[in-house]
C-alpha cells in the first residue's frame, strides 16, 4: 500500500497550482524529440568493458509488477522506469508533462477527458501501443485490481472513472467509461470534475501493461524475463532477494538513457545498505535511510554525497472516535495540547525532520498550522484543564494505550514513541502504555478500529491537498472511526461539515476559494482532532560522487528526485 | 521439476545408496537398526510439521488482510479465504496441509507476488547450502586442529588459552561478530564486499545451473564469477564457522585426551615414538570418529546461525526469507520453510547415523 | 547451541581414590577449599564464575543500587562518547537587535531561532526558554529553524532571517569573525550545568545513560535466561524422569517427539513462536523455553535409564519401595548434578537466543532496557557511536562467558572419565 510512504512538498504550491489550472494550455504541447532507436534487444553479456553501469541499493523489495494492481513505492519505481503513463512528472519537479499521450483535453464541464497517444510508442519487444491496447489495460486495472496484493484501483481508479453500465450486483461494473475512439485516441469519463486528473494519470496505475498479460488475471511477478514496458528500460532479470537488472529499451521513443545498465541490489537492513555504500559495493543508496546515526555515518564518508529530497512522508497519530478514551473530544484535545513536536524532532531525529502542525504539509494549497494556532503545544496547563474537565485528576489519571508498528517506518519510531510517552506523562494526569505490534498484524487491527490511538505514516498518491484530507474522511477513515465502513459519515461527530467542505473543495476551480476551503477543513480538523500530525520526514538519497544527475532539470543534487520522490533513472550518468 | 525438489533428490540419492548398501551388506543387527531408523524419520517429520501447524494457526493476524491490504474487496477476500481453506474446520485444514507436504506442493505465498513457495525456496535454498557448507568446513578443520593442540597439551597455557577462546567465541552473539567483521574487513579495510553473494556486474555473465554460485562458476569455467563468489563468501562463512569452531574444539580436545590415556598410547610412548606422531597419527585418528558424527548434529545449529548471518550480510538464503516472511505474516511461506528445514535436518541425520553405524562397528544397535 | 553435548555420559561407577575418601570426611566448606588442590584451574573457574554470577544476580535483582541514572530517562545530550563533556551552548544574535537574552524573545509569538542539525542546541535552548518562562510567567515560544551547517545558521542570524541562534561556544568562536555584527550573548541558561556532566560509557541516541541501561539490562537478561531455563527444566525434568523410569510405549512416543524438536534449529522454532505470540517478556521466555525442553528431557531420561539399573535402586526395589519413592529418593537426587550443569550453560544459551530474537525485532517490546534491543538499535551507529554496539555486545559476551565457564568447570570436575589417573 502506498499510503505509508508519502509525500510532501515544501514550496511547490505554485507548481501544483500551475499544473492544476493549465490543462487546457498544455493540450497542445507535444512531446519532446523522439529519437527512436530500433534494433535488436541487447543481449546480456554483463561486465563487458566500456559499458556504463549504475548500481542502486535499496531495502525495498519487489511485491507486484503488474501496473494494473501494484501499489508500493519500489514497484511503482520499476513500473514507471520500464513503462510510462499517459502523463509524467518532469524529473526533479512536480509539473505534469506529456507521457505516452502527446496531448489531452477535458470537455466543458471537466468530466470527460480525451487523450491522444503518440504514434511511436512501442513495448520493449517491438509491439505497438494502440488506443485499444491502452483501454484493455485500463479495464484490467479497474476490474482486476484488488484480486492481488496491491489494489491500486480502489484508490486511484474506481473512485474517479465512471461506470457506464453497472453490474448485476452492487459494486460491480460491466462497462467502464473508457473508450478507444480510434487508433490513437482514448476517452475517459469521470465521476466528477477533478482538476487534478492529469496528475492522477501520471501514476503507475495508468502505465500500460504488456498485451501478453492476461485479461482475466494479474501477473504480479512475471515468471519469464525480460519484462517489457513502453519506457526507457527493460527489466532483464530478477533474482529475488539479490538483484534486478535493467537494460535499455531499443524501441523507446524518447531520449536514450546515458548508462547502459541499471542494477538494483536488495538489502535486508538500512545499516547494511549504508555499509554497502560506504564500502563501495553500490553507487547509490535510495530510500529509507532515516536513522540519524546512519546519516552521520554517510555524511562522514569520503566520496559519498548526501542530499535531502524535497519530498517525503508525514507521520501522525490516528485517533479513534468510537473507542474509549479517545471518543472524548476533551481527551483528544488534551493529547494534542501535550505533544511537543520540536522535542521529537530534536531527540529522535537529531533535527533531521520537520515538525508538522497540520495534515496538509507546508507548500500545498491552503496549508496552515492549525494545530499550533489552536494548542500552542506543548501547553501543559491547557492539557491539564481539559483533562480536569473530562473528569481526570492526578489521583485518577487517564489510562492511555498507544499502539505502533516498531519497524515499518524505521527503528527511530520506537524512540519517538518513547518521547511522546514522556510528554504525555509530564501532565501528571495521563498514564501511557506503549504497545509495539508487527506491521502485518498492526495494519489489520488498525483497519478494524481496535486501537484508540495508533501511529501511521502517509505519502501522497498524487500531489494535491485533497490527498491529505479525503483518505481519513472516507473508506472507514483508515480506522479513525470518523466515518463508518460504508463511507457514511457518523452523525455524532463534526465530520458532515468537513465532508461537505471537502466535496466543495474537490470540484472548486477557483484557487483562492479552494485554498480557503482547505484552511477551514484544517481548522475543523484541529478542533475535532481527527488525527494528530507529528512530523514531516524528508527522504534522502546518497550516492558516490562520480554519479551525476541531469543539470537541465531541477534538483540535480538529489539526482533529480523532486517532491514526487519519483526516481527517474534516465537522468543518471556515471564517471567511474 | 523445481530446483527445491532437485536439491532433495540430490540429497536423497546418496542417502538411498547408503541405505541400500547397509541393507544388502550389513549384519542382521545393522539391517534392523537401519530399518528402524528409516521408519522413525517419517514420524519425526510429521511431528515437526504438526508443531508448526499448531503454532501458526493461532496467529493473531489475519493472513488475508496482511496479504490484500485494507482495500481488498470482500469477494476477493472470500475467494482467498476459500483458497487457503481458512473457513474449514481445523482438522480439515490440517489434512490439506499434510497433503500438500507429501505432494511437495507447498502452496502459493501470500505476499510478494504470491509465487509458489516451492519455487521461492528453490531459489533460496542453494544460497543457504553454499553458506553453511564452507562454514562447517571452517568449524571442523579449525576446531579439530585447535582441539588436538589443546588436548595434547592438557593443562598447559595453550590449553587454557584455547579453551578460553572457544568459550569466548561461543559466547559472542553471532550477529555481533558478523557486524564487527563486516565493519573491520569490508568497510574499513575494504578487503571483502560488505554483503551479497556475488558482484552484481559479474553476476550477469554467470549462467545459473544449480544456483550454487561456486559450483556454477566451476562448471561453466567462469573464473571471474568464481573469484567474486568466493570473496563474498569469506566473511559470512567465517562468522558462522567461528561460532561453531569452539564446539568442535572442545569435542576434539576431550576425545584426544581420552585417547591419549589409552593403554596403546602408553605402549607407543614406551617404545619411544615421538609425541607428535602419537598425537597426530593415533590420537587424532581415533578422536575423529565421534567428531565427524557430530557434524550431522550440528546442521540444526548451522541453519539457526544462518538465519542471523544471512540477515547481517543480506545473504539471499532461506534464513533471510524466513525473517522477511515472518514480518509479513506470510503463513504459507513460513510453513514451507519449516517443513523444508524439517525434511532437510531429518535426512541429514538419517544419513549420518547410517554411515556412522556402517563405519564404526562399535555402535550398539 | 545445545548444552547436552558438553556433558558426560551418566556417571560411571569407579573405585574411589583415597583423596576422595579424605574429602568425604570433612565439612562442606573445607571440602570445597581442599578440592582446589586436585582440580587446579578448573576449581578456580568454578569459584570465580560463581562469585561473578552471584554478583550479577545481585545487580539483576537490585539494579537501582548500581545504576547512576534512570535507564529510560533523558539525562544528557544525545550520542555523547564515554567520558566526553559537551561544549557550553551560547546564544548568538545580531548586535543592536535587542536580543541579549532568551527573555527578550518573550513576545507571545513564535520567534525564529536558528540551530544546527545534529547538535544539542535546540534541546538546550528550548529547555532554557521553558525555565525562564516558568520563572517569569511569560511563555517564550521559539520557532526552531534547523540549518545543516553552523555557517548557514550564522548567516541567517547575520541577515536577520532568524532573531537569534544557539550553538557550541568553541565552534562559534572559530568562525565568528566572518559574520560582522553577530555577537555571542553569553551561555544559555542551564547550559553550563550540562556541560559539566559526562557519562562513563556515554549516552545513546535518546540521551540515555548507556551504563545504566547495561545495568538494568542485566535484569532483563537474567530474567529471560533463568526463567526460560527454569521453565524448560520444570517441564523437561519430570517428563524425562517418568519417561525413563516407566519406559514402554509412553517412553517411545515422548522420546520421538522430543528428538524431533531437538533435531530442529531452535532459533527458527523460537522465531516462529515469538512472532505468533507477539512482543512481551513472558512470550519470549515461552518461545525460548520450548526449544530447551528436549535438552533436559534427553539428559534426565538417559540418566534415569542408567541409574534405575544401579545396585542401590535394585536394593530399594527389593525391600519394597514404591515406584514414586524410588524416583524421588534415589533417582532424582542423582540426576541433579548434571541438570545443574546444563542449567548454567542453558541460561547462557537462552540469553544468546533472546538477543538474537531482539536483533530480528521479534523479542521484547522496544521500551524495555535490554541488551539485544540496544544491540539491534545500535547497529546503525556502529560507525559513528561505537560505544552503542560495543558495550551491550560485551555485556552479553561476559555473562554468557561466565555462565559457560562455570558449567565447563563443573563438567571437568564432575566428569570422572577426564580425571588424571
Tell me: pLDDT of B364 over 60.
no
Q: What share of chain A is helix, strand, coil (3-state, %, to 5)?
A: 30, 20, 45
> Tens of pLDDT along C183-224?
888 888 777 777 777 889 999 888 899 999 999 999 999 999
> Tens of pLDDT along A355-407?
999 999 988 889 999 999 999 888 999 999 999 999 999 999 999 999 998 88
Q: Which of A456, A464, A461, A460 is nearest to A402 (CA)?
A: A456
Rounded Cα distance between B207 and B215, Å, is 11
Tell me: pLDDT of A57 over 70.
yes
Query: If you measure CA to CA, which chain A residue comes closest to C121?
Result: A346
More confident residue, C37 or B277: B277
Tell me: pLDDT of B303 over 60.
yes
Whether B198 contacts B232, CB under 8 Å? yes
Question: Which residue of B68, B114, B320 is in closest CB contact with A268?
Answer: B320
Question: Which residue of C117, C383, C385 is in closest CB contact with A351?
Answer: C117
B294·C5 Cβ contact <8 A: yes
Q: Which of A497, A508, A500 is nearest to A464 (CA)?
A: A508
Residues of A in contact with C117 (CB under 8 A): 350-352
Cβ neighbours of residue A445 closer than 8 Å, sequence gap 6 or more: A403, A437, A451
CB atoms within 10 A of CB A204: 29
Tell me: pLDDT of C3 over 90.
no
B51·C269 Cβ contact <8 A: yes
C118·A292 Cβ contact <8 A: yes
> Tens of pLDDT along B230-255?
999 999 999 999 988 988 888 888 88
Residue entry with cell 507476488: B113
Tell me: pLDDT of A472 over 70.
yes
B338 alpha-carbon distance from chain centroid: 13
Tell me: pLDDT of A39 over 80.
no
* Residues listed for chain C: 421
Chain B interface test: which of A275, A435, A454 (most B C-beta within 10 Å) = A275
Query: If you measure CA to CA, which chain A residue comes closest to C366?
Result: A414
Does residue A55 sit at the B interface (CB-CB below 8 Å)?
A: yes
Question: Which residue of A155, A266, A443 is in closest CB contact with B66?
Answer: A443
pTM: 0.85
B72 alpha-carbon distance from chain centroid: 39
Question: What structural domains does chain A harbor?
Answer: 27-63+223-310+540-571 (3.40.190.10), 84-206 (3.90.76.10), 311-537 (3.10.105.10)
Burial class (CB in 10 A: 0-12, 13-18, 19+), B28: exposed
Whether B340 contacts B116, CB under 8 Å? no
Question: Which residue of A62, A280, A441 is in closest CB contact with B190?
Answer: A280
> Tens of pLDDT along A215-229?
988 888 888 889 999
CB atoms within 10 A of CB A471: 18
Tell me: pLDDT of A334 over 90.
yes
pLDDT of residue C223: 93
- pLDDT band at A474, cuts 50/70/90? low
The CA distance from B239 to the nearest CA of chain C, in Å, is 15
pLDDT of residue C355: 92
- pLDDT band at A28, cuts 50/70/90? very low
> Tens of pLDDT along A506-529?
878 788 999 999 999 999 999 989
Query: If you measure CA to CA, which chain C residue comes closest to A406?
Result: C366
Cβ within 8 Å of A, C 202-261: 205-207
pLDDT of residue B41: 84
Residue A14: in which H helix or E strand, if any? helix A13-21
pLDDT of residue A535: 96
Rounded Cα distance between C276 and B334, Å, is 11
What Å distances lie between residue B340 and B101, B106, B117, B264, B278, CA to CA?
A: 9, 9, 11, 46, 44
Whether C349 contacts C3, CB under 8 Å? yes
Whether A9 contacts A363, CB under 8 Å? yes
pLDDT of residue A201: 94
CB atoms within 10 A of CB C265: 25
Rounded Cα distance between A81 and A204, Å, is 10
> Tens of pLDDT along A6-16?
223 333 333 33
pLDDT of residue A1: 33
Cβ within 8 Å of A, B 118-177: 120, 123-124
CB atoms within 10 A of CB A25: 9
Q: What is the dihedral of CA B94, B96, B99, B105, to 10 degrees?
A: -120
> Tens of pLDDT along C50-82?
899 999 999 999 999 999 999 988 888 888 889
- pLDDT band at C89, cuts 50/70/90? confident
Cβ within 8 Å of B, C 173-202: none
- pLDDT band at A269, cuts 50/70/90? confident
Subunits with at least 3 CB pairs below 8 A relative to chain A?
A: B, C
pLDDT of residue A453: 93
Segment A545-554 shows an average pLDDT of 94
pLDDT of residue C32: 66
C154 alpha-carbon distance from chain centroid: 43
Cβ within 8 Å of B, A 124-153: 146-151
C267·B308 Cβ contact <8 A: yes
- Burial pattern A358-396, b for ≥16 Cβ within 10 A else e, equals bbbbbbbbbbbbbbbebbebbbbebbbebbeebebeeee
Rounded Cα distance between A536 and A6, Å, is 10
> Tens of pLDDT along B115-163?
888 888 888 999 999 999 999 999 989 998 898 888 888 878 898 899 8
> Tens of pLDDT along C248-287?
899 989 998 998 888 888 888 888 888 878 778 898 999 9
What DSSP letter does each residue of C134-154 carry, written as one string? HHHS---EEEEEEESSHHHHH
C117·A294 Cβ contact <8 A: no
Question: Which residue of C146, C206, C383 is in closest CB contact with A415?
Answer: C206
**H-helix segments, A449-564:** 470-473, 495-507, 511-528
Give φ, ψ of C222 to 5 degrees.
-65, -40
- pLDDT band at B329, cuts 50/70/90? confident
Task: Name the grid cell of A282.
Answer: 553500490
B327·A440 Cβ contact <8 A: yes
pLDDT of residue B68: 59
Cβ neighbours of residue B241 closer than 8 Å, sequence gap 6 or more: B134, B135, B136, B137, B138, B139, B142
Does residue A302 sit at the B interface (CB-CB below 8 Å)?
A: no
- pLDDT band at C396, cuts 50/70/90? very high
Query: If you measure CA to CA, which chain B residue comes closest to C275?
Result: B326
Q: What sign for the dihedral angle of Cα C44, C46, C49, C50?
A: negative
Does residue C286 sit at the B interface (CB-CB below 8 Å)?
A: no
pLDDT of residue A363: 85
E strands in A118-257: 163-166, 173-176, 178-182, 185-189, 233-239, 243-248
Question: Which residue of B173, B247, B327 is in closest CB contact with C356?
Answer: B173
pLDDT of residue A2: 32
Tell me: pLDDT of A492 over 50.
no
Tell me: pLDDT of A572 over 50.
yes
Does residue A217 sit at the B interface (CB-CB below 8 Å)?
A: no
Whether C63 contacts C218, CB under 8 Å? yes
Q: Where are the domains of chain B?
A: 1-111+328-365, 124-325
pLDDT of residue A12: 33
- Burial pattern B110-142, b for ≥16 Cβ within 10 A else e, equals bbbbbbbbbbbbbbbbbbbbbbbebbbebbbeb
- pLDDT band at A23, cuts 50/70/90? very low
- pLDDT band at A4, cuts 50/70/90? very low
Segment B37-60 shows an average pLDDT of 80
Three-class SS of A104-152: EEECCCCCEEEEEECCCCECCCCCECCHHHHHHHHHHHHHHCCCCCCCC
Rounded Cα distance between B50 and C323, Å, is 34
- pLDDT band at A24, cuts 50/70/90? very low
Question: Which residue of A275, A346, A354 is in closest CB contact with C122?
Answer: A346
Amino acid at each position: 500500500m502506498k499510503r505509508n510512504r508519502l509525500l510532501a512538498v515544501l514550496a511547490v504550491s505554485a507548481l501544483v497550482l500551475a499544473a492544476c489550472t493549465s490543462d487546457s494550455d498544455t493540450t497542445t504541447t507535444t512531446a519532446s524529440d523522439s529519437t527512436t532507436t530500433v534494433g535488436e534487444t541487447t543481449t546480456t553479456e554483463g561486465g563487458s568493458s566500456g559499458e556504463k553501469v549504475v548500481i542502486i541499493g535499496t531495502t525495498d523489495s519487489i511485491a507486484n509488477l503488474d501496473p494494473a494492481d501494484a501499489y508500493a513505492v519500489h514497484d511503482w519505481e520499476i513500473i514507471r522506469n520500464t513503462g510510462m503513463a499517459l502523463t509524467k512528472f518532469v524529473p526533479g519537479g512536480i509539473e505534469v508533462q506529456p507521457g505516452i499521450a502527446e496531448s489531452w483535453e477535458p470537455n466543458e464541464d471537466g468530466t470527460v477527458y480525451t487523450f491522444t497517444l503518440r504514434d511511436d510508442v512501442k513495448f520493449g519487444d517491438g509491439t505497438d501501443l494502440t488506443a485499444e491496447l491502452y483501454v484493455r489495460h485500463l479495464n484490467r486495472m479497474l476490474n482486476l485490481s484488488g484480486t492481488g496484493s496491491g489494489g491500486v484501483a480502489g484508490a486511484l481508479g474506481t473512485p474517479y472513472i465512471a461506470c457506464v453500465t453497472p453490474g448485476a450486483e452492487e459494486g460491480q461494473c460491466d462497462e467502464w467509461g473508457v473508450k478507444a475512439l480510434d487508433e490513437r485516441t482514448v476517452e475517459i469519463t469521470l465521476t466528477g470534475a477533478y482538476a487534478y486528473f492529469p496528475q492522477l494519470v501520471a501514476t503507475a496505475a495508468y502505465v500500460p501493461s504488456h498485451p501478453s498479460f492476461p485479461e482475466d488475471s494479474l501477473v504480479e511477478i512475471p515468471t519469464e524475463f525480460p519484462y517489457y514496458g513502453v519506457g526507457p528500460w527493460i527489466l532483464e532479470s530478477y533474482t529475488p532477494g539479490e538483484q534486478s537488472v535493467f537494460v535499455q529499451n531499443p524501441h523507446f521513443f524518447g531520449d536514450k538513457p546515458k548508462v547502459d545498465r541499471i542494477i538494483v541490489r536488495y538489502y535486508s537492513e538500512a545499516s547494511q545498505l549504508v555499509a554497502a555504500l560506504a564500502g563501495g559495493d553500490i553507487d547509490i543508496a535510495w530510500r529509507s535511510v532515516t536513522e540519524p546515526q546512519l546519516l552521520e555515518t554517510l555524511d562522514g564518508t569520503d566520496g559519498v554525497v548526501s542530499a535531502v529530497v524535497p519530498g517525503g512522508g508525514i507521520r501522525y497519530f490516528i485517533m479513534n472516535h468510537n473507542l474509549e478514551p479517545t471518543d472524548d473530544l476533551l481527551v483528544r484535545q488534551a493529547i494534542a495540547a501535550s505533544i511537543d513536536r520540536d522535542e521529537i524532532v530534536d531527540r529522535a531525529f537529531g533535527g533531521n525532520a520537520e515538525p508538522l502542525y497540520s495534515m496538509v504539509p507546508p507548500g500545498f494549497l491552503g496549508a496552515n498550522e492549525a494545530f499550533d494556532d489552536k494548542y500552542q503545544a506543548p501547553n501543559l496547563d491547557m492539557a491539564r484543564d481539559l483533562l480536569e474537565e473530562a473528569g481526570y485528576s492526578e489521583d485518577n489519571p487517564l489510562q492511555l494505550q498507544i499502539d505502533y508498528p516498531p519497524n515499518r517506518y524505521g527503528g527511530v519510531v520506537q524512540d519517538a514513541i518513547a518521547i511522546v510517552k514522556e510528554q504525555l506523562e509530564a501532565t501528571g494526569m495521563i498514564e501511557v502504555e506503549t504497545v509495539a505490534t508487527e506491521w502485518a498484524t498492526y495494519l489489520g487491527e488498525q483497519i478494524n478500529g481496535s486501537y484508540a490511538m495508533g501511529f501511521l505514516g502517509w505519502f501522497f498518491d498524487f500531489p494535491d491537498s485533497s490527498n491529505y484530507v479525503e483518505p481519513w474522511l472516507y473508506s472507514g477513515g483508515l480506522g479513525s472511526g470518523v466515518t463508518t465502513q460504508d463511507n457514511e459519515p457518523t452523525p455524532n461527530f463534526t465530520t458532515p461539515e468537513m465532508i461537505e467542505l471537502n466535496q466543495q473543495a474537490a470540484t472548486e476551480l477557483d484557487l483562492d476559494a479552494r485554498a480557503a476551503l482547505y484552511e477551514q477543513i484544517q481548522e475543523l480538523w484541529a478542533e475535532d482532532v481527527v488525527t494528530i500530525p507529528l512530523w514531516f520526514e524528508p527522504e534522502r538519497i546518497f550516492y558516490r560522487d562520480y554519479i551525476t544527475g541531469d543539470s537541465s532539470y531541477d534538483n540535480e543534487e538529489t539526482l533529480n528526485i523532486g517532491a514526487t520522490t519519483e526516481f527517474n533513472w534516465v537522468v543518471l550518468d556515471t564517471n567511474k | 521439476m523445481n530446483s527445491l525438489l532437485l536439491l532433495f533428490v540430490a540429497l536423497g540419492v546418496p542417502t538411498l545408496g547408503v541405505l541400500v548398501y547397509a541393507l544388502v551388506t550389513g549384519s542382521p543387527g545393522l539391517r534392523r537398526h537401519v530399518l528402524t531408523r528409516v521408519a522413525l524419520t517419517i514420524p519425526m517429520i510429521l511431528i515437526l510439521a504438526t508443531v508448526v501447524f499448531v503454532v501458526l494457526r493461532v496467529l493473531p493476524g489475519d493472513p488475508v488482510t496482511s496479504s490484500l491490504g485494507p482495500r481488498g474487496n470482500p469477494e476477493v477476500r472470500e475467494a482467498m479465504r476459500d483458497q487457503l481453506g481458512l473457513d474449514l474446520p481445523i482438522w480439515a485444514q490440517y489434512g490439506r496441509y499434510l497433503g500438500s507436504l507429501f505432494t511437495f506442493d507447498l502452496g502459493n505465498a501470500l505476499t510478494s507476488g504470491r509465487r509458489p513457495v516451492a519455487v521461492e525456496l528453490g531459489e533460496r535454498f542453494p544460497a543457504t547450502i553454499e553458506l553453511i557448507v564452507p562454514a562447517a568446513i571452517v568449524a571442523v578443520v579449525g576446531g579439530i586442529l585447535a582441539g588436538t593442540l589443546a588436548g595434547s597439551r592438557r593443562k598447559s597455557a595453550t590449553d587454557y588459552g584455547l579453551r578460553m577462546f572457544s568459550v569466548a567465541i561461543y559466547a559472542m552473539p553471532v550477529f555481533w561478530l558478523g557486524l564487527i567483521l563486516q565493519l573491520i574487513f569490508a568497510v574499513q579495510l575494504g578487503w571483502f564486499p560488505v554483503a551479497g553473494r556475488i558482484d552484481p556486474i559479474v553476476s550477469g555473465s554467470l549462467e545459473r545451473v544449480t544456483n550454487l554460485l561456486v559450483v556454477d562458476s566451476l562448471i561453466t569455467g567462469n573464473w571471474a564469477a568464481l573469484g567474486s563468489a568466493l570473496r563474498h563468501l569469506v566473511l559470512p562463512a567465517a562468522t558462522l564457522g567461528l561460532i561453531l569452531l569452539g564446539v568442535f574444539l572442545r569435542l576434539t580436545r576431550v576425545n584426544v585426551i581420552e585417547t591419549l590415556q589409552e593403554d596403546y598410547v602408553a605402549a607407543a610412548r614406551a617404545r619411544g615414538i615421538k609425541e607428535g606422531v602419537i598425537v597426530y597419527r593415533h590420537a587424532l585418528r581415533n578422536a575423529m570418529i565421534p567428531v565427524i558424527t557430530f557434524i550431522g548434529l550440528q546442521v540444526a545449529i548451522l541453519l539457526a546461525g544462518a538465519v542471523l548471518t544471512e540477515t547481517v550480510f543480506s545473504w539471499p538464503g532461506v534464513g533471510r526469507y524466513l525473517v522477511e516472511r515472518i514480518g509479513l505474516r506470510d503463513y504459507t511461506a513460513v510453513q514451507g520453510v519449516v517443513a523444508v528445514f524439517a525434511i532437510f535436518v531429518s535426512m541429514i541425520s538419517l544419513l549420518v547415523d547410517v554411515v556412522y553405524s556402517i563405519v564404526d562397528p562399535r555402535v550398539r544397535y | 547451541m545445545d548444552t547436552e553435548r558438553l556433558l558426560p555420559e551418566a556417571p560411571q561407577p569407579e573405585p574411589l581414590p583415597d583423596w576422595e575418601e579424605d574429602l568425604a570426611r570433612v565439612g562442606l566448606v573445607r571440602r570445597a577449599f581442599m578440592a582446589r588442590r586436585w582440580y587446579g584451574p578448573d576449581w578456580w573457574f568454578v569459584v570465580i564464575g560463581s562469585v561473578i554470577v552471584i554478583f550479577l544476580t545481585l545487580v539483576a535483582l537490585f539494579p537501582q543500587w548500581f545504576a547512576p541514572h534512570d535507564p529510560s530517562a533523558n539525562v544528557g545530550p544525545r550520542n555523547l562518547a564515554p567520558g566526553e563533556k559537551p561544549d557550553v551552548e551560547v546564544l548568538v544574535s545580531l548586535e543592536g537587535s535587542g536580543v541579549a537574552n532568551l527573555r527578550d524573545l518573550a513576545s507571545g509569538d513564535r520567534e525564529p531561532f536558528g540551530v544546527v542539525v545534529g547538535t544539542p542546541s535546540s534541546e538546550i535552548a528550548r529547555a532554557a526558554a521553558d525555565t525562564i518562562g516558568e520563572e517569569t510567567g511569560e511563555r517564550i515560544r521559539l520557532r526552531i529553524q534547523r540549518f545543516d551547517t553552523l555557517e548557514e545558521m550564522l548567516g541567517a542570524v547575520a541577515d536577520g532571517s532568524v532573531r537569534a541562534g544557539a550553538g557550541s561556544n568553541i565552534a562559534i568562536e572559530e568562525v565568528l569573525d566572518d559574520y560582522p555584527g553577530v555577537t555571542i550573548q553569553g551561555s544559555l541558561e542551564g547550559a553550563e550545568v550540562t556541560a559539566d556532566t559526562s557519562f562513563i560509557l556515554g549516552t545513546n541516541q535518546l540521551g540515555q545513560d548507556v551504563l545504566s541501561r547495561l545495568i538494568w539490562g542485566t535484569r532483563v537478561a537474567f530474567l529471560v535466561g533463568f526463567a526460560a531455563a527454569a521453565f524448560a527444566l520444570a517441564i523437561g525434568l519430570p517428563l524425562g524422569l517418568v519417561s525413563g523410569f516407566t519406559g514402554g510405549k509412553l517412553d517411545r512416543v515422548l522420546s520421538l517427539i522430543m528428538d524431533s524438536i531437538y533435531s530442529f534449529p531452535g532459533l527458527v522454532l523460537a522465531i516462529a513462536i515469538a512472532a505468533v505470540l507477539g512482543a512481551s517478556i513472558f512470550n519470549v521466555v515461552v518461545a525460548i523455553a520450548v526449544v530447551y525442553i528436549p535438552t533436559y528431557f534427553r539428559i534426565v531420561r538417559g540418566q534415569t535409564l542408567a541409574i534405575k539399573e544401579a545396585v542401590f535402586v535394585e536394593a530399594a526395589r527389593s525391600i519394597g519401595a514404591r515406584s514414586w519413592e524410588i524416583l524421588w529418593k534415589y533417582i532424582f537426587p542423582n540426576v541433579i548434578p548434571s541438570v545443574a550443569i546444563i542449567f548454567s550453560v542453558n541460561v547462557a544459551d537462552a540469553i544468546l537466543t533472546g538477543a538474537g530474537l531482539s536483533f530480528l525485532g521479534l523479542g521484547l517490546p522496544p521500551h524495555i532496557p535490554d541488551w539485544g534491543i540496544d544491540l539491534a538499535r545500535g547497529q546503525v551507529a556502529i560507525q559513528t557511536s561505537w560505544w552503542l554496539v560495543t558495550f551491550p555486545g560485551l555485556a552479553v559476551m561476559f555473562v554468557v562467558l561466565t555462565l559457560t565457564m562455570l558449567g565447563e568447570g563443573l563438567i571437568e570436575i564432575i566428569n570422572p572419565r577426564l580425571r588424571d589417573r
